[in-house]
């Protein structure tokens, strides 16, 4: 009984810690067309941003940040994606917004979800 209680308490603590991160998820509605995704930080001074692109594209595409937030002087390198996609990037970030451009090259079908977290 005590072991079960301890396990339950540990699980509750870990769920609580994981939920401290503020995140937003957006779906790319039509992977065959370019799309701009804008994310807004819930806090005034974020120090980093994590983004995770997950899904499938039949063809080739690129996801890139539009702006460069300090301490960067230029946007981070574009991420080329194709086939099964599980792309993660963490970047130092100080802006309250993060704008990503999705640009398909020869994509015929697929589905993508972009999750952005402000750790």
Query: Quick one: pLDDT at residue 95?
Result: 79
CATH topology of domain 22-118: Jelly Rolls (2.60.120)
Spans of all domains in the chain: 22-118
Pick from 40, 50, 32: nearest CA to 112: 32
Query: Quick one: pLDDT at residue 1?
Result: 47
Pick from 97, 88, 114: nearest CA to 29: 114
Query: Quick one: pLDDT at residue 6?
Result: 36
Buried-state track 27-47, b at ≥16 Cβ within 10 A, e below 16: ebeebeeebebebebeeeebe
Distance CA 41, CA 82 (A): 28
Query: Contact, 96 vs 83, CB < 8 A?
Result: no
> Which residue ranges in the chain fall short of pLDDT 70?
1-21, 45-46, 69-72
Query: Quick one: pLDDT at residue 97?
Result: 84
Query: Quick one: pLDDT at residue 111?
Result: 97
Query: Quick one: pLDDT at residue 84?
Result: 97
Give the alpha-carbon dihedral of 91, 57, 23, 72, to 10 degrees: 20
């Amino acid at each position: 009984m005590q072991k079960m209680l301890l396990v339950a308490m540990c699980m509750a603590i870990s769920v609580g810690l994981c939920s401290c991160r503020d995140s937003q998820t957006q779906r790319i509605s039509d992977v065959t067309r370019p799309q701009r995704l804008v994310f807004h930080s819930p806090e005034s001074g974020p120090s980093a941003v994590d983004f995770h692109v997950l899904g499938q594209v039949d063809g080739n595409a690129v996801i890139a940040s539009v702006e460069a937030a300090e301490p960067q002087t230029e946007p981070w390198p574009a991420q080329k994606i194709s086939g099964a996609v599980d792309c993660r990037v963490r970047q130092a970030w100080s802006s309250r917004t993060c704008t990503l451009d999705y640009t398909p090259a020869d994509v015929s079908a697929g589905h993508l979800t972009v999750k952005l977290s402000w750790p």
